[in-house]
Amino acid sequence: MNPLGIFNSVYRTSSLEEMARQVAGHGMRYLHLDPRIEQVLPRGEAITSSWARSVKRTLDSHGLQVAALAGYCNLVHHNIEIRESGLRTFEQLIEVCNDFGTSYIATETGGLHPEVPNMDYPANHSEAGWQALLEVLDRLVGKCKEHGVKLLIEGCVKYTVATPAEAVKVMEHYGEERIGFILDPNNYVQEVDLHRPQAVLADVFERLAGHAPIAHAKDVLYTEKGFESPKVGDGHMDHVEYARLLQLHTPDIPLIVEHLKPDEVPHVLSLLEQAFREADGAARR
């Protein structure tokens, strides 16, 4: 089974020390760390190397490693002021990324919807949307290069990087030394693929797995609101096949659980353990 981790934001109402204690208590070794929430960055605290190293010391004391920083923001937000604010913070996190003990920082790419930025929108999949994304990535990739950091792209069907092929296109544009991926096949499942996620899994692993230092564990479904990604077990993903492919291609990368509440963690971890057992059993037959 891949080593397990979680987003610290699952325990956002706990202190940094208590969050770390609970995560370690579940046998997890990794965090996909969002440093921006008050649990990690107290009100009035500045983003500095000394602050980042202090956070790392707390995590170290519980045997936890930061798999990647979560710098998620809408890179192409239609409101220039909101976009610029998010990018400035992202750049500050790049500057201190290595102080957390990781050289990876991750984000989705976002979308251009003029009213609800996290919704799908035709312009997200247009040439204009693509060029808007590259303009921002030029800036972020340059900043990453200055500080020895790698930018991890998490694609999603509703955003400007919506397919595994588009993710690869970004990597080829900037080079694999600067761009990697979050291995999250749930995000690439179109509604027409809901009942055949194995095909999406195969495509994602073929194109992205060799360039992904971490993976996500959640689920996928479509409702009247469109694409949604609930916790493991609440959607249509074939987790046994996902586990099989992880073990075959990327057995050592952290598998980060997300989109759940603290009291749901034991059940989700149990579901994942069962999926890996079933995948292992099928491989032995």
What whole-number distance in Å separates Cα of residue 30 and Cα of residue 5? 4
CB 112 within 8 A of CB 78: yes
Q: Compute the Cα dihedral for 42, 44, 45, 46 and give only its sign.
A: positive
Of 248, 249, 217, nearest in space to 235 by CA: 217
User: Per-residue pLDDT for the chain (285 aa), expressed as one digit of tens each?
Assistant: 999 999 999 999 999 999 999 999 999 999 999 999 999 999 999 999 999 999 999 999 999 999 999 999 999 999 999 999 999 999 999 999 999 999 999 999 999 999 999 999 999 999 999 999 999 999 999 999 999 999 999 999 999 999 999 999 999 999 999 999 999 999 999 999 999 999 999 999 999 999 999 999 999 999 999 999 999 999 999 999 999 999 999 999 999 999 999 999 999 999 999 999 999 987 676
* Assigned superfamily of 4-284: Divalent-metal-dependent TIM barrel enzymes (3.20.20.150)
- Which token pair is 212? 């992904």
Q: Beta partners for 214?
A: 182
CB 90 within 8 A of CB 71: yes
**Identity of the amino acid at 176:** E
Indicate the pTM of the whole model: 0.97
